[in-house]
Amino acid sequence: MRNPILVTGGTGTLGRVVVQRLLDAGRDVRVLSRRPRSAAAGHEWATGDLRTGDGVDAATSGVDAIVHCATTLNKEDVAATQRLVDSARRSGDPHLVFISIVGIDRVPLPYYRAKLEVEERVVGSELPWTILRTTQFHDLVVRMITAQRWSPVIGVPAGVDYQPIDVREVAERLVELAVGAPAGRVPDMGGPEIRSHRDLARAYLAATGRRRIVLPVPLPGAVVTAFRRGGHLAPEQAVGRVTFDEFLAEQGR
Ligand SMILES: NC(=O)c1ccc[n+]([C@@H]2O[C@H](COP(=O)([O-])OP(=O)(O)OC[C@H]3O[C@@H](n4cnc5c(N)ncnc54)[C@H](OP(=O)(O)O)[C@@H]3O)[C@@H](O)[C@H]2O)c1
């Protein structure tokens, strides 16, 4: 008999889609979330917090695999993941699948440094593991642009490109990996097109009928320099199919 697959962050942008894809594939799913069970959830639910460890043992108990999509969005991710790993080891030998980001070893952003350390914890976990790195999700690009929606001018870092990918394609790959044998670090996944931040902002404005000035701003610093050099891009792995324009059109934005 097959045991459930635990999805940490199963309420998030990526995790929600992973959960649905696993259910579609006929797998039992358990979600770990800090929130109480959602009334609409047609699967198991474990309320818990990776920051404190509360509820984590109940979440990892008896699972075949863990798709680790939760993030605290800061360096606490390292301790949170270690808590998950320790709990998973107490529970048995589940396959730990981790979603990471292309270029975390090239762009010196504090969040990326933490992510790299999380990867190291996964590799050193003594659990069977798989790590997939992807480029930025379309949703994140939209969030970066809409963060300035009240301003008549949208500032974008000059010379920075993105290669956004559709979260459904990432979820599809994670599900394939989670139900398969542990594969270690698998090839990176990048979106289908590399476009400037300015161009993506303009595409968003055109698709949503908004009129704003998009202003490229030359920004100093090692992080922006690394982004300008394309450290976060995967031009050789442009395997995503859904373009940013198609994503916007589908969302009715
Ligand atoms: N966004 C991108 O462009 C991108 C690109 C490549 C890789 N990734 C990686 O993909 C993963 C998912 O990203 P996302 O954009 O889907 O994230 P998200 O929408 O921000 O979701 C974060 C999830 O983490 C959970 N979470 C946060 N703190 C937690 C805690 N203390 N204990 C338990 N759960 C906690 C949240 O669940 P509750 O609020 O329900 O507790 C939520 O479901 C992240 O690791 C991210 O780094 C993202």
Mean pLDDT to the nearest integer, 101-120: 98
Structural tokens at position 68 = 């680790």
Rounded distance between C-alpha atoms, residue 80 and residue 72, angstroms? 8
Mean pLDDT to the nearest integer, 23-36: 97
Please give the pLDDT value at position 251. 87
34 lines ligand 1 (CB under 6 A): yes
Mean pLDDT to the nearest integer, 127-137: 98
pLDDT tens-digit series, residues 207-229: 999 999 999 999 999 999 999 99
Q: What are the start-end ranges of the E strands in the chain? A: 5-8, 29-33, 44-47, 65-68, 95-101, 129-134, 153-157, 161-162, 184-185, 195-196, 213-217
| 101 neighbors 134 (Cβ within 8 angstroms) | yes
| Ligand 1 atom nearest residue 98's Cα | 45
More confident residue, 1 or 138: 138
| 165 neighbors 139 (Cβ within 8 angstroms) | no
pLDDT tens-digit series, residues 148-177: 988 999 999 999 999 999 999 999 999 999
Flag whether pLDDT at 136 surpasses 90: yes
Domain locations along the chain: 5-135+167-185
Mean pLDDT to the nearest integer, 66-85: 97
What CATH code would you report for 5-135+167-185? 3.40.50.720
12 lines ligand 1 (CB under 6 A): yes
Mean pLDDT to the nearest integer, 97-106: 98
Pocket test for ligand 1, best of 7, 8, 13, 173 (most atoms within 8 A of CB): 13
Pocket test for ligand 1, best of 30, 69, 174, 186 (most atoms within 8 A of CB): 69
Provide the sign of the torsion angle of the four alpha carbons 241, 242, 244, 249, taken in this order: positive
Instruction: Give the rounded percent of residues in the chain with a pLDDT score beyond 90.
Output: 96
33 lines ligand 1 (CB under 6 A): yes
Mean pLDDT to the nearest integer, 70-89: 97
Please give the pLDDT value at position 1. 58
Mean per-residue pLDDT of the chain = 97
36 lines ligand 1 (CB under 6 A): no
Please give the pLDDT value at position 41. 87
Please give the pLDDT value at position 235. 98
| Ligand 1 atom nearest residue 51's Cα | 31
130 lines ligand 1 (CB under 6 A): no
94 lines ligand 1 (CB under 6 A): no
Confidence band, pLDDT 50/70/90 cuts, at residue 194: very high
Taking every pair of C-alpha atoms in the chain, what is the biggest distance, in angstroms? 58
72 lines ligand 1 (CB under 6 A): yes
Query: For residue 69, what is the DSSP state?
Result: -
Measured in Å, residue 152 CA sits from the centre of ligand 1 at 30
pTM of the shown model: 0.98
| Ligand 1 atom nearest residue 111's Cα | 47
211 lines ligand 1 (CB under 6 A): no
35 lines ligand 1 (CB under 6 A): yes
Mean pLDDT to the nearest integer, 27-34: 98
- Return all residues near 97 (Cβ < 8 A) that are at least 6 apart: 65, 66, 67, 68, 129, 130, 131, 132, 174, 177, 178
Flag whether pLDDT at 253 surpasses 90: no
Flag whether pLDDT at 143 surpasses 60: yes
Type of residue found at 18: V
